[in-house]
A and B are shown apart, each in its own frame.
Chain A
Amino acid sequence: QSALTQPPSVSGSPGQSVTISCTGTSSDVGDYDRVSWYQQPPGTAPKLLIYEVNNRPSGVPDRFSGSKSGSTASLTISGLQAEDEADYYCSSYTTSHTFLIFGGGTKLTVV
C-alpha cells in the first residue's frame, strides 16, 4: 500500500463543519490507534493536530477532533475559520513493509 486514502479536496463556509476521511487497511488504521493528523498551511512545515486517533496537543483548539471506525479515521473541523485553509494529512503506524505511512493529503478551502 503506497498511502492512506484521503479526498483530494474539501470545502466549507466560515462557521460550518467539515470532515476529512482517511482510509487504510487492517495493517494500519484498522488495527492500531497510532493515527495522527497534521495541518500544513502553504509554505510552512506541518503541525501536529491530533494524535492517537482523538487526542489534541495543548494549544490546538477543540474545534479540531478525531475519530475512527474500522479502517477509516476522520478529522472534523467545526466552526470553520479562514485561517483553517491548509493541507491536512493523516498518518498511521503500519505493519505492511514500511513503518509509518501518510495519506495523500486533503486541501481545505474556506469559501
Chain B
Amino acid sequence: QVHLVESGGGVVQPGRSLRLSCAASGFSFSRFGFHWVRQAPGKGLEWVAIIWYDGSKEYYADSVRGRFIISRDDSKNTLYLEMNSLRAEDTAVYYCARDRFTYHMDYWGQGTLVTVSS
C-alpha cells in the first residue's frame, strides 16, 4: 500500500529556512518522480516543484524558483523540499505527491503546515 508522509512543517520567521521531508513506503521509490504542491489557507492548489525519477531534472514554479530546492534520497525513500528566504505568502499546507510520468499525481500525502510569521 502506497504511503507518503510529510513532516518538518511549523512556524518560522520571514527570511529564515525550513526543510520539509516526505517519507515514502509501499512501492519502489526510485522508479518515480515526485511533486510538491501547496495550498494556502482557504485557497486553491498551487504546484511548487517536480523532480525526475532519477533526479536528473527539476522544475519550479516562478514563485519559488531560486529560493526552494527539491531533492531526493533514494537510500532513505525520502523526498525533500529545502525552503529558503521564506515569505509570509509561503504560508500553506505542503503536500508531496507521486508523479505518474504524464505529470499527474496518483498518490498524495496528508500535508504539513508551514506558517511564516514574525
Q: Chain A residues in contact with chain B, CB under 8 A?
A: 3, 34, 36, 38, 40, 45-48, 51-52, 57, 87, 89, 91, 93, 97-105
Task: Give complex CA distance A60, B91 in Å.
Answer: 32
In the bound complex, do residue A91 and residue B109 qualify as a contact, i.e. CB atoms below 8 Å apart? no
- A40, A87, A100 interface centre (most CB from chain B within 10 Å): A100
Tell me how far the C-beta of B96 lies from the nearest C-beta in chain A, rounded to whole angstroms.
Answer: 10
In the bound complex, do residue B44 and residue A103 qualify as a contact, i.e. CB atoms below 8 Å apart? yes
Of the candidates A3, A47, A98, the one whose C-beta lies within 8 Å of that of B108 is A47
Interface stretch, picked from B9-17, B19-27, B81-89, B98-106, is B98-106
Number of chain B interface residues as a range:
20 to 34
In the bound complex, do residue B47 and residue A99 qualify as a contact, i.e. CB atoms below 8 Å apart? yes
Known: A36-B105, A46-B105, A100-B103. 20 other contacts (CB 8 A): A40-B45, A45-B95, A45-B108, A45-B109, A46-B37, A46-B97, A48-B105, A51-B102, A89-B44, A91-B103, A98-B47, A99-B50, A99-B61, A99-B103, A100-B50, A102-B44, A102-B45, A102-B46, A103-B44, A105-B45
CB-based A-B contact count at 8 angstroms: 69
Determine the residue in chain A with the shortest Cβ distance to B59. Answer: A99
Q: Chain B residues in contact with chain A, CB under 8 A?
A: 35, 37, 44-47, 50, 59-62, 95, 97, 100, 102-111
Task: Give complex CA distance A54, B49 in Å.
Answer: 24
Of the candidates B45, B50, B59, B61, the one whose C-beta lies within 8 Å of that of A46 is B45
Task: Give complex CA distance A80, B45 in Å.
Answer: 24
- Which residues of chain A are near B111, meaning CB under 8 Å? 45
Take A45-B111, A46-B108, A99-B59 as given contacts and tell me if A52 and B47 are in contact as well, using a CB distance cutoff of 8 Å.
no
